[in-house]
Amino acid sequence: MAWLASTFQLHVTPDQLAVALRAGVYVVLGLLLARLTAVGVTRATRHMGPQERVLLRRLASYAVLGLFLASALREAGFRFDVLLGAAGILTVAVGFASQTSESNMISGLFLMLERSIAIGDIINVAGTVGEVLSVDLLSTRLRTFDNLLIRIPNQTMVSTQITNYNRLPIRRFDLQVGVAYKEDLAKVEQALLDIADRNPLCLEDPAPLLISMGFGASSINYQLSVWAKRENWLELRNRITREVKTAFDGLGIELPFPHVSLYAGSVTEPLPVMLVGSETAGPADPVGTAPPEEAP
């Protein structure tokens, strides 16, 4: 060791250098073993869910690393009894300094124990929809569908309403559809139920539900509620909208858009229109029959 100190002209004694090297070996060994532990735990927990695997892997590797770091510090002459003596003061100081972090950590533990979300789930947190990438001690990371990474503090996750789209195997889609007032409603209702019946993605049980939503401004409104396997929900949503349009077109059922009808009375002739300021204007002209006139 003396030659090493003399070669690099270090102002340390050979004993101090030996201690530093031993501590360094502990750190390197700790990092290596922590890595190996993580790999081993990952392999041993293949049958578990991704959330549990990540949690166990981190706990095991951090425990191994912590032990070796403590050994390295002890080797370097760090006295833990001093630390324990100052633990009370230190706890108060650290507690004040890291209130938010501790709150997030405790919230993170609650999230992990509650298991309301797991890695890979699609969730909605306060309007943000994305896939859960990880539930860490301080925060939860989401990847949105437009590929943005969102970090949400665990404290927020615990205190906010979360919608998990992946937890249950089947899901309902509600299609809002309006038909013109002139239509035969029995025919419309049968057409909607037939569409649900023909679509193989639509679950037979729970049965499709047709609800009359009342008289709207321009249409009589219905809600067709159909169930699908969760993975097929988006495809069902796209397909059934197209199928309703195709079926209604084929049956001559009008899908109205908002419009306003003008009546001058219960029974009336077309509203007369008179062009003002034109020399060629006639006395009266029904709507749509007058040729276009140039402005004076």
Partner 1 sequence: MSTTDAWWGDTALKPGALRTWQIGPYRLWVRAEAREWRLWSLSSDEAMVGGIRVAEEGNDDEVPDGAALTRVGLAQRDPVLTLLPAPADRDVVVRPDLPVVVPAGVRVELYVTTPLWVVARAGRDGPTLLDEPSHRMSDTWFGPNTLEGELAYALRTSATLDLEALPYVSHRAITRVSVVNAARDAFSLVKLKVPVAGLALYDVPGSGIWTDAVTLEREQASDEAEVVVGNGPGAATARPERIADPRLAVRGPRFSLDAFGRLLGM
The span from the CA of 100 to the CA of 98, in Å, is 6
Q: Does 174 bind partner 1 (CB under 8 A)?
A: no
Q: Do residues 121 and 165 make contact, with C-beta atoms less than 8 angstroms apart?
A: yes
Q: Does 93 bind partner 1 (CB under 8 A)?
A: no
Helix 99-114 and helix 87-97: axis angle, to 10°?
80
For partner 1, give the closer residue by CB, 173 or 227.
227
Nearest-angstrom CA–CA distance, 246 and 190 = 15
* 153 CB-contact burial (10 Å; exposed 0-12 / middle 13-18 / buried 19+): middle
- Indicate whether 232 belongs to the interface with partner 1 (CB under 8 A): yes
Q: Which is nearer to partner 1, 59 or 170 (CB)?
A: 170
Applying CB under 8 A, among 95, 120, 200, 270 the residue interacting with partner 1 is: 200
- Applying CB under 8 A, does 258 fall inside the site for partner 1? no
Size of the site for partner 1 (CB under 8 A): 17
Binding range to partner 1, per CB under 8 A, among 108-116, 135-143, 227-235, 274-282: 227-235
Is the Cβ–Cβ distance between 259 and 218 less than 8 Å?
yes
* φ and ψ at residue 48, rounded to 5 degrees: -90, 170
Point out which span in 73-81, 100-108, 128-136, 226-234 binds partner 1 (CB under 8 A). 226-234
Q: Quote the CA–CA distance of 156 and 137 in Å, as a whole number.
A: 13
Smallest distance from partner 1 to CB 195, Å: 13
In the bound complex, what is the minimum distance in angstroms from residue 171's beta carbon to partner 1? 9
User: Applying CB under 8 A, does 229 fall inside the site for partner 1?
Assistant: yes
Least distance in Å: CB of 166 to partner 1? 14
89 near partner 1, rule: CB under 8 A: no
**226 belongs to the binding site for partner 1 (CB under 8 A):** no
Figure out which of the listed residues 72, 203, 220, 224 binds partner 1, where binding follows CB under 8 A: 203
What 8-state DSSP symbol labels residue 277? S
Q: Is 242 one of the binding residues for partner 1 (CB under 8 A)? A: no
Q: Which stretch binds partner 1 (CB under 8 A): 38-46, 115-123, 173-181, 191-199?
A: 191-199
CB of 232 to partner 1, least distance (A): 7
**Residues in region 205-224 near partner 1 by CB under 8 A:** 205-206
**DSSP sequence for 217-243:** SSSEEEEEEEEEEGGGHHHHHHHHHHH
* Burial environment of residue 193 by CB neighbours within 10 A (0 to 12, 13 to 18, 19 or more): middle
What are the structure tokens assigned to 69, written together?
């770091």
Q: Which burial class, exposed, middle or buried, applies to 208 when counting CB atoms under 10 A from its CB (0-12, 13-18, 19+)?
A: buried
Q: Look-up: residue for tokens 């204007």?
A: 281
Under 8 Å between Cβ of 143 and 133: yes
Q: Check binding of 227 to partner 1 (CB under 8 A).
A: yes
Binding status of residue 228 toward partner 1 by CB under 8 A: yes
Residues 80, 83, 87, 91: what is their CA dihedral angle, to the nearest 10 degrees? Answer: -110
Residues 154-173, interacting with partner 1 (CB under 8 A): 168-170
Give yes or no for residue 179 binding partner 1 (CB under 8 A). no
Q: How far is the CB of 203 from partner 1 (least distance, A)?
A: 5
Q: Interface residues with partner 1 (CB under 8 A)?
A: 168-170, 197-206, 227-229, 232
